[in-house]
């Protein structure tokens, strides 16, 4: 299988590569490489981007993976890995990250609710004093600043938690929601 250098994919056979040389901490962390990545690492002279080299890549991988003497010459041990096992591990990692992201969003929404609850009419009256990004020259009001920073939609905040905010904050959230809806209509050519 040929390798697209622009993408870091796990297409093709997968091999676990363990260094035979002890690391600084005395541990040897195994590395997962595809057949093409194996060639790129240990036989950089073979061009893995050309279709005409596919047979050579396959033969080189078979020879390298099948010879512990050649592997030892490179200071590594190579073994083929069950791709289903790798898939299950990657899926488990992904689902764990997805769950962590959901928990982090809950924490962020809680902090956003707290800060919006603390905003006073005087804070809003100060006007457009906060930039939405460090590089941006656009100024926005304090409520829009926190909505923009959190990336939590104003509509979501308003519909789910609006009862807990002052009327001034609710008005600001409604204004942000109306502004976003108008921008969306304009993008779609309906406004």
- Average pLDDT value for residue range 82-97: 90
Compute the C-alpha angle 34/39/44, nearest 5°: 140
pLDDT, tens only, 99-157: 999 999 999 999 999 999 999 999 888 876 666 666 667 778 889 989 988 999 999 99
The residue among 135, 1, 161 whose CA lies nearest residue 143 is 161
130-131 and 76-81 as β-strands: parallel, antiparallel, unpaired? unpaired
pLDDT band at 22 (very low <50, low <70, confident <90, very high): confident
For residue 145, count CB atoms less than 10 angstroms from its CB and return exposed for 0-12, middle for 13-18, buried for 19 or more.
Answer: middle
DSSP-assigned beta bridge partners for residue 16: 32, 79
| Residue 125: predicted pLDDT | 87
pLDDT band at 8 (very low <50, low <70, confident <90, very high): very low
Two tokens at 16?
A: 């676990």
pTM of the model: 0.59
Is residue 6 scored above 50 in pLDDT? Answer: no
User: How does the average pLDDT of the chain come out, rounded?
Assistant: 85
pLDDT band at 9 (very low <50, low <70, confident <90, very high): very low
pLDDT band at 168 (very low <50, low <70, confident <90, very high): very high
- Based on DSSP, count helices (H) and strands (E) in the chain, helices before strands: 8, 5
Q: What is the percent of the chain with per-residue pLDDT over 70, rounded to a whole number?
A: 86
């Amino acid at each position: 299988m040929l390798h697209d250098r622009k993408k870091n994919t796990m297409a093709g056979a997968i091999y676990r590569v363990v260094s035979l040389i002890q690391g600084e901490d005395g541990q040897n962390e195994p590395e997962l490489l595809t057949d093409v990545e194996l060639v790129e690492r240990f036989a950089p002279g073979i061009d893995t981007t050309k279709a005409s080299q596919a047979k050579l890549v396959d033969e080189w991988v078979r020879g390298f993976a099948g010879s512990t003497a050649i592997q030892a010459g490179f200071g590594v041990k190579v073994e083929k890995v069950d791709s289903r096992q790798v898939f299950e591990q990657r899926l488990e990692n992904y689902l764990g990250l997805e769950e962590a992201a959901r928990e982090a969003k809950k924490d962020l929404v809680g902090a956003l609710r707290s800060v919006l609850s603390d905003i006073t009419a005087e804070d809003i009256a100060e006007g457009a004093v906060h930039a939405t990004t460090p590089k941006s020259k656009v100024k926005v009001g304090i409520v829009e600043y926190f909505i923009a920073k959190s990336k939590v939609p104003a509509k979501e905040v308003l519909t789910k938690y609006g009862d807990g905010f002052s009327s001034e904050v609710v008005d600001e959230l409604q204004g942000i929601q109306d502004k976003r809806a108008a921008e969306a209509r304009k993008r779609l050519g309906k406004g």
